[in-house]
Amino acid sequence: MESVLKATVRKETGKGAVHRLRQAGQIPAVIYGEGQANVCLDAREAQKFFNTNGYSQLITLQLDNEGKVEKRPVLVKEVQFDPVKGNPLHLDFLQVSMQQKVVMKVPVVLVGEEKRVNDGSVIDTALYEVEVSCLPADIPAKIEVDISGLTMGNSITVADLQAPEGIEFVTPATEAVVVAYAPRVEEEKPAEEEEEKATEPQQQPEE
């Protein structure tokens, strides 16, 4: 399914222009690659779009240039977020060719937790994203990692993952994605040591 995001070509640049755009509910952005352009997005529409689609998918940017509309295939190259609210403040897009492979970071999603035998281990995600190489149209929304058979003291590496058709992993095969650790147990103090502390005479304060 095509993920379409509307954008408008902007003529003004500079800090003052960017500030005015944000005040007007717009997000400034730049398209790099072939057909470089300064654009802006409606902040509410963009936030809703990215909440649904994430930032790692191929986007069809519907670009309005003074009434002339064209579609461009782009990927999100970089996002500047508001440090307090967490919403995007600025985006860099990269226009891509649909016939050339790209390298993208794709989120890792754990599945099968409910089927795991409760062996007391603690599951730790070592990698939240993996890099893949593929054609833009084949970029997966996520990479699922089945942890149903993961037991204490073992791990799942990139080599253990099932790559979707047309996808190659760029992240080294030896990299651990998920690890099942034995829970840490605090060493208890010997009972004799505790008893000695309890029976030690308390020093009287000097008058």
pLDDT at 12: 79
Portions of the chain given CATH number 2.170.120.20? 102-181
pLDDT at 31: 96
pLDDT at 191: 56
pLDDT at 183: 87
Portions of the chain given CATH number 2.40.240.10? 4-95
pLDDT at 2: 75
DSSP letter at 3 equals: -
The list of the chain residues with pLDDT below 50 reads: 207
pLDDT at 193: 58
| CA separation, residue 135 to residues 57, 74, 174, 201 (Å) | 11, 12, 24, 77
pLDDT at 11: 84
pLDDT at 15: 85
Give 198's contacts (C-beta < 8 A, 6+ positions apart): none
Could you tell me the maximum CA-CA distance found in the chain, to the nearest angstrom?
92
Homologous superfamily of the 4-95 domain (CATH): Ribosomal Protein L25; Chain P (2.40.240.10)
- Domain 102-181 matching CATH 2.170.120.20: the answer reads yes
What is the Cα–Cα distance from 107 to 43, expressed in whole angstroms? 24
pLDDT at 207: 47
